[in-house]
Amino acid sequence: MQALLSFENAPPFAAPLRFFLTAPLFAVLAGLLLAWNGPQLMASRWMPGALAATHLVTVGFMLQVMLGALIQILPVVAGANLRHPLRVARIVHIGLSGGGGLLAAGFLAAIPWLLSTAALLLGITLLYFLVVCVQALASVPSTSPTIRGLKLALVGLAAVVGLGMLLAFELAYGWSLPLAALVDLHAGWGLGGWAGILLVAMAYVVVPMFQLTPGYPARPSWWFPVAMLLLLLLWSGGVLGSVEWLVQLSQGLAALAGIAFCVLTLRLQGKRRRARADATYRYWQLGLTASVAALLMLLVSVLWPAASELDGWTIGFGILIIVGGFLSFITGMLYKISAFLTWLHLQNFGQAKIPAPAMNKILSDTDCQRQMVAHAVALALLLAAVIVPDWLARPAGLAFALANGWLFWNLACAVRRYRRAQADMAEKLAAL
């Protein structure tokens, strides 16, 4: 409840901003790595380059934005105030950026101590973040499906990080664990249990409220995060007990649940009452379509396991769900939240005496839509590169780097305009 007490308790802009500006740079690195490594990176999911690029995107980009945004929105959505948000942001940002970089380097160079240092650094950082969030959320009752979803997503975060650390130590020290099954489970917890549940919890709020669609049906909304978590626990049980059919069953049901959510969201968006299709909306549409395609692939590989042995199947699935799905959702929402935060902070800065420039003066939708075209082209090239890696792997890597460099540019320009507007307002305030 503290969160509502005053604006002074709201996190300063610097808290989430550092995450938002760093994230695209990690994606640029992933693109450059593909351009440099070329077709061999796409030969299999086990290539050092593929592992490095995947984690540059998931830890460096996705996790970065998700944690930065959580620090910002926990007070708004759940009324849960983090104590010392700027300090939390500084610590988590350094740990995450350092850990993400070391992890990628560790995969690429296959140096055990790098991998284990990265795992420890990421583990400690995220444990700290989890403790801070649990403290803030402990006294908050789950009065909405979003709050419940947020809490359950944190369980997913703990699981994906725990498994990730285990796997990093296994790679570093050659423990004899069932690597493939654990890597799948790690990805399942990361994409389904953490990113997936978090996305769904946020969608309950952002889709109806900002696109003016009908609300999500109440009962399924309450149950979806719980069901997803239970399915991941079943999957984990299947891996622990080596019960293959249980693993398959839970994967298949999780894919179906994901498809149901995406189709439902597409239908709700079809009923939206906003007249204009802005970049955020288009990014959502792209993300939902790509996610449905990816989850159908998952379903096919459950029903017909030989499919995942096909050349490029797993890499293609990964590109569709991560670049096509999550990166699209995240970038679309990132534009909106960044523009709104610049306005909100300028508004407060003006003390109701000097008006703040509207959001579109700080970050124009045209710029965002142009960048989105670059993202869509990069996605298409990446998918085509799965089929003809020799020709397209390097151009796809460059295109992906370019799209994310552009994202960085758009955000950096918004920050520059924000600073300029603030200086301008300071002058006017002084002259009053």
Partner 1 sequence: MTTIRSFMTDDHRRCDDFFAEAEQAIGKNNIAVARAAFGHFQSSVLAHFECEEKTLFPTFEAKTGMSMGPTQVMRMEHQQMRALLDDARSAIESGDIDDYLGLAETLLIMMQQHNMKEENILYPMCDQHLSAELPAVLERLEMELCDE
User: Residue type at 52?
Assistant: A
Of the residues 275, 423, 430, 431, which one makes contact with partner 1 according to CB under 8 A: 275
Task: Identify the residue whose tokens are 């959320």.
Answer: 137
Of the residues 16, 31, 79, 196, which one makes contact with partner 1 according to CB under 8 A: 79
Contact between 359 and partner 1 by CB under 8 A: the answer reads yes
Of the residues 14, 36, 44, 76, which one makes contact with partner 1 according to CB under 8 A: 76
Size of the site for partner 1 (CB under 8 A): 34
Of the residues 276, 304, 430, 431, which one makes contact with partner 1 according to CB under 8 A: 276
Residues contacting 59, CB < 8 A, separation 6+: 26, 96, 99, 100, 103, 122
Residues 2-31 that bind partner 1 (CB under 8 A): 3-7
Contact between 340 and partner 1 by CB under 8 A: the answer reads yes
Of the residues 34, 56, 62, 78, which one makes contact with partner 1 according to CB under 8 A: 78
Q: Which is nearer to partner 1, 223 or 340 (CB)?
A: 340
| Residue of 99, 1, 84, 63 whose CA lies nearest to 330 | 63
Token pair of 127 as six digits: 């444990």
Contact between 144 and partner 1 by CB under 8 A: the answer reads yes
Query: Is the Cβ–Cβ distance between 206 and 146 less than 8 Å?
Result: no
Contact between 138 and partner 1 by CB under 8 A: the answer reads no
Going from the C-alpha of 17 to that of each of 223, 238, 280, 345, the distances in angstroms are 33, 40, 18, 12
Going from the C-alpha of 336 to that of each of 1, 140, 264, 279, 332, the distances in angstroms are 25, 26, 22, 9, 7
| Minimum distance of partner 1 from residue 149's CB (angstroms) | 13
Contact between 352 and partner 1 by CB under 8 A: the answer reads yes
Candidate segments 259-267, 271-279, 291-299, 399-407, binder of partner 1 by CB under 8 A: 271-279
Candidate segments 14-22, 105-113, 193-201, 335-343, binder of partner 1 by CB under 8 A: 335-343
Write phi, then psi, for 311 (nearest 5 degrees). Answer: -55, 130
Write phi, then psi, for 278 (nearest 5 degrees). Answer: -90, 180
Contact between 423 and partner 1 by CB under 8 A: the answer reads no
| Residue of 11, 77, 13, 3 whose CA lies nearest to 342 | 13
Q: Say how far apart CA 357 and CA 380 lie, in whole Å.
A: 36
| Minimum distance of partner 1 from residue 335's CB (angstroms) | 12
Of the residues 44, 135, 139, 143, which one makes contact with partner 1 according to CB under 8 A: 143
Q: Which residues bind partner 1 (CB under 8 A)?
A: 1, 3-7, 76-79, 143-144, 146-147, 205, 209-210, 212, 273-276, 278, 336, 340, 343-344, 347, 352, 355, 358-361
